[in-house]
Amino acid sequence: MKLYTTIIIILITILGAFAQIDQDTLKIKEVVISAMRSEKNKNEIPVKVDLISAKNIENLAVVNVDDIFNSISNVYVNRSWGPFSKNSSVTMRGLSSSARVLVLLDGMPLNMAAGGSINWHMIDADNVSQIEITKGPNSALYGNNAMGGVISIISKRPKSPITVHLNSYGGSYKTFGQHITITGNRVNDEKGLYWGIKGFARQGDGYYFESEASRDYSDTTTYIWEYNTGGYLGYQFNKDNKIEVSGDFYDDLRNEGIQVYEKDGSYYKFTTKTIQANYVGKFKGFEINAIGYRKQQDYFNQKERLNNFAEYKLMESSSTDIDEGVWIGVNRKIGEKHFFTFGSDIKHGETNYADIYFTSYDEVYYTGAFNFYALFLQDEYNLNKKIKIVGGLRFDKANFYDGSFSVNNPTSETGYENSMHSEYTPETWNAISYKFATNYSFSEKVRNYFSVATGFTPPKLDDLCRSGKISKGIKIANPELQPEKIFNIETGTFITLHKLEIEPSIYYSRGKDFHYLVGLGDTVDIGGEQRALLQKQNVSDVEILGAEINVKFQINQNLNLITNYSFNHSTIKDYKTSVGTELTGKYLAEVPPHLFYIGLYFNHKRLASSIAFRFIDEQWIDDENTLLVEKYSIVDFKISYQINKYFASYIDIQNLLDVEFVDRKGLSSPGRFILVGIKTDVKQISKKK
Amino acid sequence: MRIATLYISAMVFLFSCKEEIPEYNSPKLELIQDSGYLYADSSLYAGDTVLVKIKASSQSDYALTQIHIERITENDTITIDTGIYNHTITFVKKIVKSNSDFETWTFTASDRNRVKSESITINISKKEFSTYNDIIHIPSVLFGFQNNNEIGSFYSLSSQEIFDTENAYNFQDNIHLVAYYDYSGDEHVIASPGANISEGTFAGSYDIVNWTTLNTTRFLLSDISTDEFDNCSNDSLIYETSFTFEVGKRKAKNLSQGDVYAFVSDKGYFGLIKVKSLTGTNEGNIEIEIKMK
């Protein structure tokens, strides 16, 4: 408690000290779209937002797009196998799991309804124009998943008649990649067509988890290959109206480091197809943002192993998950003081999952679908030049239906005694989310915000419908699972001096009905091994007390310092079941209490370089708090040089000091990872009359 | 515009592609007609042991991944799935004639794509006037659990002796049963050296993980009563409760007084075990009674 009091005193002192400062200020107009679902100046919104521009990304050692978030306070990226990870988990504000963060790509939600996960690999960092990271719950505007915050990724759009971008690289573990983007812009007099074709391919040999001395014949490297292709076609009717259609295709293969007999051994594969249409326009004083989208993610996992008795086991898991929806947001200024944002979101998500065994005849299938309907309304009220008040309300209704679960020809592999088929009763639930926030500008340099907001994350289709083996035992479906909810209160200050920006904030969150795996007090014999029966239940109320502070300092014209520190005390306040281990008072898994980042960025003529240090505190990796991953520190380095008008070369080094750390399964990280690359940008400059 | 049209066409093509596996010949099973092997329907006395030899071969590039064996009697159906990865394999199945009047054994092989072979079926009827023979009765076997310094934890069904850890290590070939206490939930356990017993259960260099010969005995909890066990004086009940080795469990766990387990050993011993008493944890002991063939 002493620590929290100290933090609060420090923050209040900082706020008081800077409240009266009235010096020359760097007036930076940074535009944010996602935080309020309308275009806003970052300095006038009562919420904590971090912005990352394409230029910032250029300066960072980035191998995957989520590596960018390592530089952001209170965002923890769990990518322990580096580029060879099956996926990464990006968590915010002391809430583990990607499902508790809403991620948007050009307005399209990327969290899959089936499991809440995000396929970060399909996003090419070369094509990112800006990333907006809104901290804290924002379900009053976005509904699902926006508990810890919202990450909005905005892609680049062409400004030149023709642009060709190439990026080729090679590096550690024989990793090679090629990115290409060709774009065109034929917009003249604010009318015309623009388009882009993009793609990338990457492959790498990966690394062994085991040391050479302890490897056996089934150990192989975590090799990968992946490629993506996509494009967009847009038409601008006039200054205010445009429509765009875009599509993406992504495919990969990622080996798990095990190969017994089968080609590629045990591996994961995600094939993702997206198509979306966006309309942005103005009509009689109404600003309209509409998006329609469809995503299909085909997941495939081949698993082969020799069990403890040297018996060969082979199975495949696959699923087809489809998410589609239409989101419409409308903005309207009414009078001088009110700015309304309102609209409706409709979303559908479904999954068809199968486990097929090849060393027995077991088959397990499940299906499930969700429909979401939502209405929202927000008013930004500018009381005067200093005070802005924001109030928002959203109503979400969700239907879970078509839930079924089947087992055919069961043996001890799946643990069922007989073939069975069950259909789940449809369930409906509602969620009302609200937000109240104020922004008070003490001066042009100092402002303070205060916010009270709620958020929720729906149950995953996987938890509602799927029964089957997981690493901890046998998970039994719970079709009655309800959403997790969170209430958050926070305040923060923004101080902008001549060359210094300081942004401290503190928050307190109470989570209700969080999903935890509860032991049902019984076991099943699976192939001679006793496995506990478990079920996800709404049993846990959690408490999070946190703080973060960001500091940016321009040392001189060429040198910038960025540093931040985050603190989270995330614990289970009330564990509402007497079955299994009592978890009250336990820390939330995968939440490092302390995160620290400091980066030095240098830019001079043709040379750009950055060196960054980050500290990740120790963290519990199981709910019972028995397994602890040690704290570790990483140094990343990047240097790039513009050779001439068209070519630039660069060296990215992640984990420069080759620090070893392990993931929650005790598997080691790849250590130092170096990429050397060359980029080409060729543009046809428009001839303006 | 032309590029955009080409691009959209390419995307539509990509989105609609789906890989299909062309049809091919299914795997083949052959019953080997060698001397010493059963290769036709037959009549056997209860308890008779015969061997069946089968060659399974893939008729394609896809490896065989499973041998599926099914035994159907008038009382039950037992299935045994064995994971393999071979293009051709010859395997031998040992069949012990059960006490049922009629049983059907079916053998099927499947490949990597779950394409099945045609099944081979062997029908075995019980010869009338099966005579029941005497059994080996061991009224009391007292095991000490792993930290019991006075009584050994290992037992030989062949010599009918208890061994301490060091002696058991030196006579691995003869050890068929082992008793220990498990703190992770299995509690009082009777198993065998081949049961994947956790490292360190028996301290020191004689721990089972360091053994080179691991005899395996499998167990199934029986629903026969202690009275039925006590009254068992010939092998009829033993045949009645016996099972195919592969379907048994490697450990008889969470034992309590009065439990009756059927067991089958990979060395050919089979019979029944009754728990007479048990006490303590890793320093305690367990007393069992054995009736076996």
- State the pLDDT at residue A529: 65
CB atoms within 10 A of CB B22: 5
* B114 has pLDDT over 90: yes
Which residue of B11, B79, B251 is in closest CB contact with A247? Answer: B11
Residue B21 placed within a domain: no
Same domain as B140, residue B91: no
Tell whether the model's pLDDT for residue A117 goes beyond 90: no
How far is CA A227 from its chain centroid? 20
* Confidence at B97, pLDDT banded by 50, 70, 90: confident
* A249 → closest Cβ in B1, B4, B11: B11
Whether the predicted pLDDT of A635 surpasses 90: yes
Every domain of chain A and the residues it spans = 2-684
Mean pLDDT of B188-213: 91
- Chain B residues with CB under 8 Å of A260 CB are 85
Give CA–CA dist A290/B44, Å, rounded. 78
Strands A149-155, A101-105: parallel, antiparallel or unpaired by DSSP?
parallel
CB contact (8 A) between residue B81 and residue A193: no
Q: What is the pLDDT of residue A15?
A: 43
Same domain, B152 and B49: no
- In the predicted model, what is the mean pLDDT of residues A431-455? 96
- Residue holding tokens 């960001």? A550
Which whole-number Å values give the CA distances from A229 to A76, A250, A439, in the listed order? 28, 7, 43
Of A197, A261, A308, the CB nearest to B63: A261
- Closest partner residue to A358 (CB to CB) among B11, B82, B114 is B114
The verdict on residue B23 lying in a domain is no
Q: Using CB atoms and an 8 Å cut-off, which of residues 107-136 of chain B contact chain A?
A: 110, 112, 114
The percentage of residues in chain A with a pLDDT greater than 70, rounded to a whole number, is 94
Q: Would the CB atoms of B79 and A411 count as touching at under 8 Å? A: yes
Residues 216-245 of A with CB under 8 A from B: 229-231, 233
B253 and B143 in a common domain: yes
Q: How confident is the model at residue A28 (pLDDT cuts 50, 70, 90)?
A: low
Judged by DSSP in three states, A277 sits in: strand
Asked whether the beta carbons of residue B11 and residue A311 sit closer than 8 angstroms, the reply is no
**Strand A312-334 versus strand A75-78 pairing type:** unpaired
Q: Write out pLDDT tens, residues A531-589.
A: 788 899 998 899 999 999 999 999 999 999 999 999 999 999 999 887 777 889 999 98
Residue of chain B whose Cα is closest to the Cα of A311: B83
Tens-digit pLDDT profile for residues A242-281: 999 999 999 999 999 999 999 999 999 999 999 999 999 9
Average pLDDT over residues A457-485: 89
| Tens-digit pLDDT profile for residues B222-267 | 888 899 899 888 888 888 888 888 878 889 989 999 999 999 999 8
Stronger pLDDT, A618 or B49, i.e. the higher one: A618
- Beta bridge partners, B221, equal B261
Whole-angstrom Cα distance, residue A13 to residue A9? 6
Residue where a domain stops, chosen among B126, B160, B179: B126
The two three-digit tokens of residue B140, written as one number: 């009391």
Domain annotation covers residue B1: no
Predicted confidence band of residue A340 (pLDDT cuts 50, 70, 90): very high
Are B260 and B197 contained in the same domain? yes
| Count of residues making up chain B | 293
**Above 50 in pLDDT, residue A661?**
yes
For B186, which residue in chain A has the nearest alpha carbon? A530
The shortest CB-CB distance from A197 to any of B7, B68, B249 is to B7
DSSP code, position A3: H
The answer to the question of residue B19 being in a domain is no
DSSP label at A19?
H
Contact A314 B83 (CB under 8 A): yes
Q: What is the pLDDT of residue A26?
A: 43
* Full residue range of the structural domain in which residue B85 is found: 28-126
Q: What are the C-alpha distances in Å from B243 to residues A18, A293, A443, A495?
A: 82, 57, 85, 78
B61 and B144 belong to one structural domain? no
Q: Which of B13, B47, B32, B41 is nearest to B88 (CA)?
A: B32
Nearest CA of chain B to the CA of A199: how many Å? 12
Q: What is the 3-state secondary structure (H, E, C) of chain B?
A: CHHHHHHHHHHHHHHHCCCCCCCCCCCEEEECCCCCCCCCCEEECCCCEEEEEEEEECCCCCCEEEEEEEEEECCCEEEEEEEEEECEEEEEEEEECCCCCEEEEEEEEEECCCCECCCEEEEEEECCCCCCCECEEEEEEEEECCCCCCCCCEEECCCCEEECHHHHHHCHHHCCEEEEEECCCCEEEEECCCCCCCCCCCCCCCCHHHCCCCCCEEEEECCCCHHHHHHCCECHHHHHHCCCHHHCECCECCCCCCCEEEEEECCCCEEEEEEEEEECCCCCEEEEEEEEC
Same domain? For B109 and B213 the reply is: no
Contact with chain B for residue A359, Cβ under 8 A: yes
Residues B143, B288: one domain? Answer: yes
Q: What pTM does this model have?
A: 0.85
Rounded Cα distance, A427 and A479, in Å: 8
* pLDDT for the residue A57: 92
Note which residues in 228-267 of chain B have CB less than 8 A from chain A. Answer: 249-251, 253
**pLDDT tens, B259-285?**
999 999 998 899 999 999 999 999 999
**A25 has pLDDT over 50:** no
Instruction: Tell whether B102 and B238 lie within a shared domain.
Output: no
d(CA A296, CA A649) in angstroms, rounded, equals: 36
Indicate the residue of A195, A229, A314 with minimum beta-carbon distance to B4.
A195
| Closest-CA residue to B152 (of B112, B206, B219) | B206
- Domain-located, residue B228: yes
Instruction: Please indicate, yes or no, if residue B16 is contained in any of the structural domains.
Output: no
Residues of chain A contacting residue B214, judged by C-beta atoms under 8 Å apart: none
Considering only A176-180, A423-427, A474-478, B7-11, which range has the smallest mean pLDDT?
A: B7-11
Domain A2-684 in this protein, CATH class: mainly beta
Task: Tell me the two tokens of residue A653.
Answer: 């080094």
Q: What percent of chain B has pLDDT over 70?
A: 92
* The residue to which tokens 């010939």 are assigned: B234
Query: How distant is the Cα of A491 from the closest Cα of chain B, in angstroms?
Result: 47
Q: What local confidence, expressed as pLDDT, does residue A547 receive? A: 97
Looking at the fold, whether B151 and B262 belong to one and the same domain comes out as yes
From A679's Cα to the closest Cα of chain B, the distance in A is: 23
- Residue range A333-362: mean pLDDT, rounded: 95
Give percent above pLDDT 90 in chain A: 75
Mean pLDDT of chain A: 91
- Select the more confidently predicted residue: A209 or A288: A288
- Which string of b and e fits B52-70 if b means at least 16 CB within 10 Å? bbbebbbebebbbbbbbbb
Distance (Å) from the alpha carbon of A359 to chain B's nearest alpha carbon: 4
Least confident of A386-400, A640-654, B64-78: B64-78
Q: Give the C-alpha separation, B120 to B91, whole Å.
A: 13
DSSP β-bridge partners for residue A73:
none
Confidence of residue A12 (pLDDT cuts 50, 70, 90): very low
A525 touches chain B (CB under 8 A): yes
Q: Is the pLDDT of residue B20 over 80?
A: no
CATH of residue B121's domain is 2.60.40.10
Residues B122 and B151 placed together within one structural domain of the fold: no
Integer angstrom CA distances of residue A369 from A326, A345, A353, A364, A482? 17, 17, 12, 18, 15
Domain count, chain B: 2
DSSP A636-653: EEEEEEE-SSSEEEEEEE
Residue B273 pairs in a beta bridge with B261, B290
Are A356 and B114 a contacting pair at CB < 8 A? yes
A365 has a pLDDT exceeding 60? yes
Structural contact between residues A582 and A575, judged by C-beta atoms closer than 8 angstroms: yes
Test A261 with B85 for CB contact under 8 angstroms: yes
Which chain B residue is nearest to residue A308, measuring alpha carbons?
B196
Count of other CB atoms within 10 angstroms of residue B175? 28
Residues B258 and B285 in one domain: yes
Under DSSP, is residue A672 helix (H, G, I), strand (E, B) or coil?
A: coil
Rg (CA), chain A: 25
Flag if A359 and B1 touch (Cβ within 8 Å). Answer: no
Length of chain A: 689
Q: What is the mean pLDDT of residues A609-614?
A: 96
Out of B104, B126, B148, a domain closes at B126
Domain boundary among B61, B93, B126: B126
Indicate if B141 and B121 belong to the same structural domain. no
